[in-house]
Structures are given as structure tokens and as C-alpha cells.
Amino acid sequence: MQRRTTIEIDQDLLSRAKRALGAKTTRATVEEALRRAAEEAEGLQAERAARQRDYLARLSAHVDVDVLVSEEMWG
């Protein structure tokens, strides 16, 4: 879905971004920057989730989960 949006953009920053991204237009620059930001954030989130799953898988080798969830442990 595309939507027209009016924003104020620092022209020096936009010029730098255009050069860095190799984009010819403001629209292409903004879209590429947004795509890269989203992909990076999603990748970091996926990596963090994978590390957490790995940690929890290894944790069971060192912790008795039945004891942790028991009433005696927390009651």
C-alpha cells in the first residue's frame, strides 16, 4: 500500500544517503533506507530469538525444570 506523505528532510543528510545508497531519487533513497532498517531490525530480532531458544535448550541440562515450577520452590 502506498501513501503520499509530506515530511521535512535535512537536505545534507538526504544527499549523503543518496550517495551512500546509490539512489537517484528522494523516494528511492527513503524506500531503500527504510527497507535496510527494517531488514536489519528483523534480522537482529531473529538472531536474539535464536540465541534465547539455544540458551533455553542448554538450560535444561543444568536445571531441573520440575523443581523450578514446583510449589515448594516458590511457595
38 pLDDT higher than 80: yes
Backbone angles phi, psi at 22, to 5 degrees: 70, 25
Task: Give the count of domains, the chain.
Answer: 1
Evaluate whether residue 17 is within a structural domain: yes
Model pLDDT, residue 44? 93
Model pLDDT, residue 64? 82
| Predicted model pTM | 0.64
State the number of CA atoms in the 13 A half-sphere of 66 facing the CB. 0
Evaluate whether residue 33 is within a structural domain: yes
Chain centroid to CA 42: 4
Helix axes 11-21, 26-59, angle to 10 degrees: 70
Percent of the chain topping pLDDT 70: 99
Evaluate whether residue 2 is within a structural domain: no
Evaluate whether residue 4 is within a structural domain: no
- Domain region containing 30: 11-74
Evaluate whether residue 24 is within a structural domain: yes
Model pLDDT, residue 59? 81
CA-based max dimension of the chain = 66
Evaluate whether residue 1 is within a structural domain: no
